[in-house]
Structure 1
Amino acid sequence: MNIRLQLFELEDQQWFPHVVRQGMQDYLRFMISTLSTYEAALPLLEELLMKTQQQHITDLCSGAGGGIAGIRAALSKRMGVPVRVTLTDLYPNLDAYEYLYNESKGTITFVPEPVNALAVPDQLHGVRTIFSSFHHFPPHIAQNILQDAVDKKAAIGIFEGAKKSWTELLLLWITFPIVIILVTPFIRPFKLSRLFFTYIIPLIPIGILWDGTVSLLRIYPPKKLMSLAKQVKGAKYIWKAGRTGGGPGKHVIYLIGYPEGSEQVNEQVSG
């Protein structure tokens, strides 16, 4: 599926109820964590940290922090150093962030105030990451997010947990309604509102199916990601884009970029 359609997602809308948005984000975090969706991205994240001599990740557009606890723990083990993460979002999911902070014993922290990925505050350092969210932005805004990273000489990794295929779209509509009903009671932190908007007034399942469908259609394929990166001006960067991973729920589309000291910018596109 090489097309990209700029449709709208419910959770992007300011009028959309925040309690339902949080419920959808909590479900996404649960599924990404359970399936270890971003396991295949670990070597790429390690490359970003090693090349820039960083041990800290500033995660943008964090949602409910899907999968970040497992990613942080796995990176720390691979690198032999304690990697730390700061979660940020334009609409911070504070309940989820506090849960992750406590579960990680403070190795995952968060910014409680809104953070705009287009203008990341100077005090937020480290490698920037965006998981499962870059597709929300139309091309001109997506490019400006990359531009802000380059302007501040920050390494950045964009990761989407999908292969972007028609098969995934079909499986979404066949399996997700059942899965949502089965797993919702096990999502933590526990919330009565999540149960209410799943089983009584099913706004969360409806929102997940609509936004999940639109997300697959909005995801940038690797060549488009590289095209956006090539339009960024400023410091010389190494850019790589492609697909990695395999198996159900294990595919990842990615773009990574970090400052490069020579006169040439290296580009690598796969998939």
Structure 2
Amino acid sequence: MDSPLAERTALLPRLHLFELMDQPWYPRAVRNLSTDYLHTVSTRLGVFDAAVDVLARGLRASGGDTLVDLGSGGQGPVPRLRRLLEARHGLETRAVLTDLYPNAEAAGRAREAGTDYLSQPVDARRVPPELRGMRTLFNALHHFRPEEVREVLEDAQRRGEAIAAFEVVHRTPGAVLGTLLVPLLVLAFTPLIRPLTPLRLLLTYAVPVAPLALAWDGLVSTLRAHRPEELKAITRTLQRPDYAWEVGEVREKGKGAVTYVLGTPVRHATA
């Protein structure tokens, strides 16, 4: 059990249980079933749409047009958010997708659509210096313990890069109970996943590996989630005059709250 600042005020203590997708031994084919599902859900339902305004502010503060996405999995919401950034804010962006366990099949589809997806593993705590651009993470912070979250944020700050991390999992009793619905959602959304392979159908409907694995990881994700006050406690330890931190929640009508951390370099005007 972790005990960051403000833990005593939380209704549920943070439990850093094991998540299947984090394990190096987890079969790549089964991990891809999960990451492809999460990409489909985030795209079809637009669960991260509320992040667009925060992303736009971060991009403008950074002065760049490149998103370096960390923990991309099956591409995540980045393709959809790039379209929304252009439609809502007139910002044309390029994106580089990365992951500690790259999804080779998703990478191929991303490249066909004109988005880079690096084939080599990238650790969000130690991003290669040649990867320049605003860093993003979507539903990835809960994979890290509090001290590791600090490493992720501090690495961006040290390099002078903007960073924005977004979470739609929340550590509440309601969210924990909501994970009981995950197997049904997997059954419902699987026909929408492309490509719809025989292996995916087999491990979803005949042998329910994907529904059960996603249900377990969903439960663990809620118990691992960092509350906004805990994230604020972490960013307070990173305060510097040349870098600004912001933690909050945003929401779009009809959709759940999105917790975010935004870090941006402060550019002082010169006479």
User: Could you say whether these structures have the same fold, taking a TM-score greater than 0.5 normalized by the shorter chain as the test?
Assistant: yes
- Is structure 2 residue 102 aligned with structure 1 residue 92? yes
Aligned to 2:52: 42
What is the alpha-carbon distance in structure 1 between the residues aligned to residue 38 and residue 107 of structure 2? 14
Aligned to 2:77: 67
Name the SS of the counterpart of 1:29 in structure 2.
Answer: helix
Identity of aligned residues (%): 34
Unpaired runs of 5+ residues, structure 1, are 263-271
The letter of the residue matching 2:266 is E
TM-score calculated relative to the size of structure 2: 0.89
- Is structure 2 residue 168 aligned with structure 1 residue 161? yes
1:249 Cα shift? 4.8
Aligned to 1:224: 230
1:98 Cα shift? 1.9
Instruction: List aligned pairs for 1:93-172, cutoff 5 A.
Output: 93-103=103-113, 106=114, 108-172=115-179
1:119 Cα shift? 1.3
Contact 2:170–2:226 under 8 Å retained in 1: no
Among candidates 4, 21, 29, match of residue 11 of structure 1 = 21
- Using the TM superposition, name which of 72-81 and 229-238 deviates more: 229-238
Contact 1:40–1:250 under 8 Å retained in 2: no
The letter of the residue matching 1:69 is P
1:82 Cα shift? 1.8
Distance 1:2 1:223, change over 3 A: farther
- Total equivalences in the alignment: 258
The letter of the residue matching 1:165 is T
1:66 Cα shift? 1.5
1:15 Cα shift? 1.4
The letter of the residue matching 1:63 is G
Aligned to 1:269: none
Aligned to 1:182: 188
What is the alpha-carbon distance in structure 1 between the residues aligned to residue 87 and residue 111 of structure 2? 19
The letter of the residue matching 2:25 is W
What is the alpha-carbon distance in structure 2 between the residues aligned to residue 78 and residue 258 of structure 1? 21
Distance 1:245 1:81, change over 3 A: closer
Aligned to 1:213: 219
1:228 Cα shift? 1.4
1:142 Cα shift? 1.3
What is the alpha-carbon distance in structure 1 between the residues aligned to residue 199 and residue 241 of structure 2? 47
RMSD: 1.8
- What does the per-residue CA deviation read over 1:12-37, in whole Å, with 9 as the maximum and x for residues that have no partner? 11111111111011111111111101
1:231 Cα shift? 1.8
Contact 2:183–2:214 under 8 Å retained in 1: no
Name the SS of the counterpart of 1:120 in structure 2.
Answer: coil
Distance 1:183 1:147, change over 3 A: same
What is the alpha-carbon distance in structure 2 between the residues aligned to residue 162 and residue 7 of structure 1? 15
1:197 Cα shift? 1.4
What is the alpha-carbon distance in structure 2 between the residues aligned to residue 127 and residue 162 of structure 1? 23
Unpaired runs of 5+ residues, structure 2, are 1-10
What is the alpha-carbon distance in structure 2 between the residues aligned to residue 40 and residue 246 of structure 1? 5
1:138 Cα shift? 0.9
Aligned to 1:268: none
Aligned to 1:243: 249
What is the alpha-carbon distance in structure 2 between the residues aligned to residue 16 and residue 75 of structure 1? 35
